[in-house]
């Protein structure tokens, strides 16, 4: 199996996986006994209001029609309406997700760097005092409850030393807007715009040709075909997307990640501020997760450090750092990568406790809120969102596996 067929088959396998997942979620939420509407209203029985809600949410239809509605709506990115205020669940989730994503990314960076560096160091000084200290550190951080550590950090760095803010994402009214460039309509209208977009396609093709020339590849029929399709794609996309921004009057790019948006906006002050707000929550979460990585790195390194090719590399006089990272760690990395995927998926699902401790307006808090309101459609939407997210993360991990371990590409 070549790398390409591995990638294609792995991507194709994700589709039935997600389909099965969607069906299971539907069965759990809708088909199993217990009427969501009845549960939502709890004891205040008001038949008219309940009937009205059923109609608005489409819960009065036969179950199999509901199922297909649910699937087709999902294809359009529609996760249904919230039982609380009938606003679309998808947009609620999407507005809460960037906060969680940002926190997850920063905590992962902290956890993985602490975990790998300490794990490698401790495996290299196996059974020496350094090793014991690192192991104790790993167990302590792993065992400590996240809200407890969070509160200690808040007391020390927030209340005591007043270095860092104790909660929230950024000072209100300071939310970065992302990239905004005002655009004016070209004099000739859409026709001129279409013509100008053609230039973008040509530029893309030229760049590709130059790149091919540098690599010294011959122009074959296949590359010609690729160039033509590249030209068409760039032209069409540029024309359509560009026209949309022009009619809006400005070009808007914002990711919802405050650190990225503040940079796009070109406002270093906001960037620093966003980082300051990120510090305590990501450090708390990162430290707690790092314990897993320390232990995993250490145990895998202990195994690979014993392997023949490590001794052989030393016997060739390679530098200590090359042997440690290029040989032993490179081969100990795959299980760590798996754990990174799992942990990252968990983090994306919202670190409920951390987000609550630091009033972080992310998915975790969204879910807790919705559960308190018995908002079944929102919960279902969030579960579906997580499910898809987890399958995508595991897809990425598997593809990275193939990249890092040439033996899988066979």
Partner 1 sequence: MEKQLLAVEGLTVEYWARRGRVRAVDSVSFTLDRAETLGVVGESGSGKSTLGLSLIRLIPPPGRIIGGHLWLEGTDLLKLREEEMRNVRGRKIAFVFQDPMTSLNPVKKIGEHFVELIRTHEPKTGREEALRRAEKLLNDVGIQSERINDYPHQLSGGMRQRVMIALSIALNPSIVIADEPTTALDVIVQAKILDLLKNVQNVYAMALILITHDLSIALERCNKILVMYAGQMVEYASVENIYNKPQHPYTRGLLKSIPNIELAEQKLEAIPGSPPDLLNPPRGCRFWPRCPSSIGKCREREPQPVETEPGHFVRCFLHEVAGNESN
**What residues line the site for partner 1 (CB under 8 A)?**
126, 306-309, 311-319, 322, 326-327, 330-331, 404-407, 410
What is the C-alpha separation between 369 and 355, in angstroms, rounded? 12
CA-CA distances (angstroms) from residue 214 to 207, 220, 407?
A: 11, 16, 30
Give the nearer residue to partner 1 in terms of CB position, either 161 or 410: 410
For residue 295, the minimal CB distance to partner 1 (Å) is 21
For residue 146, the minimal CB distance to partner 1 (Å) is 35
For residue 327, the minimal CB distance to partner 1 (Å) is 5
Half-sphere exposure of 293 (CA within 13 A, CB side): 32
- Asked whether the beta carbons of 59 and 80 are under 8 A apart, the reply is no
What is the C-alpha separation between 295 and 172, in angstroms, rounded? 40
For residue 14, the minimal CB distance to partner 1 (Å) is 26
Give the nearer residue to partner 1 in terms of CB position, either 132 or 306: 306
Give the nearer residue to partner 1 in terms of CB position, either 61 or 314: 314
Residues linked to residue 252 through DSSP beta bridges, in sequence order: 180
- Asked whether the beta carbons of 50 and 36 are under 8 A apart, the reply is no
What is the C-alpha separation between 161 and 163, in angstroms, rounded? 5
- Asked whether the beta carbons of 72 and 19 are under 8 A apart, the reply is no
For residue 127, the minimal CB distance to partner 1 (Å) is 9
Give the nearer residue to partner 1 in terms of CB position, either 327 or 360: 327
Kindly state the helix (H) or strand (E) to which residue 181 belongs, with its residue range. Answer: strand 179-182
For residue 405, the minimal CB distance to partner 1 (Å) is 6
- Asked whether the beta carbons of 77 and 60 are under 8 A apart, the reply is no
Give the nearer residue to partner 1 in terms of CB position, either 151 or 307: 307
For residue 9, the minimal CB distance to partner 1 (Å) is 21
Give the nearer residue to partner 1 in terms of CB position, either 333 or 366: 333
Give the nearer residue to partner 1 in terms of CB position, either 16 or 317: 317
For residue 302, the minimal CB distance to partner 1 (Å) is 11
Backbone angles phi, psi at 81, to 5 degrees: -110, 145
Give the nearer residue to partner 1 in terms of CB position, either 116 or 313: 313
Residues linked to residue 393 through DSSP beta bridges, in sequence order: none
What is the C-alpha separation between 151 and 153, in angstroms, rounded? 5
For residue 400, the minimal CB distance to partner 1 (Å) is 13
Give the nearer residue to partner 1 in terms of CB position, either 43 or 407: 407
* 3-class DSSP string for 218-286: CCCHHHHHHHHHHHHHHHHHHHHHHHHHHHHCEEEECCCCHHHHHHHHCCHHHHHHHHHHHHHHHHHHH
Q: Which residue has the tokens 């029609």?
A: 65
- For the record, the structure tokens of 391 come out as 């399958």
- Asked whether the beta carbons of 90 and 381 are under 8 A apart, the reply is yes
């Amino acid at each position: 199996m070549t790398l390409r067929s591995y990638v294609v088959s792995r991507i194709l396998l994700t589709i039935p996986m997600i389909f099965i997942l969607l069906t299971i979620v539907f069965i759990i939420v809708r088909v199993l006994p217990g009427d969501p509407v009845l549960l939502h209203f709890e004891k205040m029985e008001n038949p008219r209001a309940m009937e009205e809600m059923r109609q608005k949410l489409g819960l009065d239809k036969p179950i199999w029609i509901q199922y297909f509605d649910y699937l087709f709506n999902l294809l359009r990115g529609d996760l249904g309406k919230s039982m609380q205020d009938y606003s679309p669940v998808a947009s609620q989730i999407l507005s809460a997700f960037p906060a969680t994503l940002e926190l997850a990314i920063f905590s992962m960076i902290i956890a993985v760097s602490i975990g790998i560096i300490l794990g490698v160091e401790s495996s290299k000084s196996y059974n020496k005092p350094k090793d014991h200290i690192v192991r104790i550190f790993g167990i302590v951080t792993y065992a400590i409850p996240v809200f407890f550590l969070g509160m200690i950090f808040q007391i020390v760095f927030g209340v005591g030393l007043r270095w860092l803010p104790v909660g929230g994402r950024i000072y209100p009214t300071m939310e970065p807007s992302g990239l905004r460039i005002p655009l004016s309509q070209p004099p000739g209208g859409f026709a001129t715009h279409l013509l100008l977009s053609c230039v973008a396609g040509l530029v893309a093709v030229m760049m590709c040709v130059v790149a091919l020339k540098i690599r010294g590849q011959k122009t074959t029929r296949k590359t010609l075909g690729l160039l033509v399709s590249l030209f068409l794609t760039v032209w069409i996309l540029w024309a359509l997307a560009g026209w949309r921004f022009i009619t809006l009057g400005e070009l808007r790019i914002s990711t919802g990640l405050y650190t990225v948006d503040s940079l796009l906006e070109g406002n270093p002050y906001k960037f620093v501020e966003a980082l300051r707000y990120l510090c305590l929550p990501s450090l708390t979460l990162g430290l707690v997760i790092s314990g897993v990585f320390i232990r995993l790195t250490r145990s895998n390194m202990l195994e690979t450090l014993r392997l023949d090719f490590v001794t052989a590399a030393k016997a060739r006089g390679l530098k200590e750092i090359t042997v440690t990272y290029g040989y032993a760690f490179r081969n100990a990395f795959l299980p760590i990568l798996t754990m990174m995927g799992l942990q990252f998926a968990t983090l994306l699902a919202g670190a409920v406790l951390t987000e609550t401790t630091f009033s972080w307006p992310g998915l975790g808090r969204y879910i807790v809120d919705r559960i308190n309101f018995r908002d079944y459609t929102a919960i279902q939407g969030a579960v579906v969102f997580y499910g898809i997210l987890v399958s995508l993360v595991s897809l990425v991990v598997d593809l990275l596996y193939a990249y890092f371990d040439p033996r899988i590409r066979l």
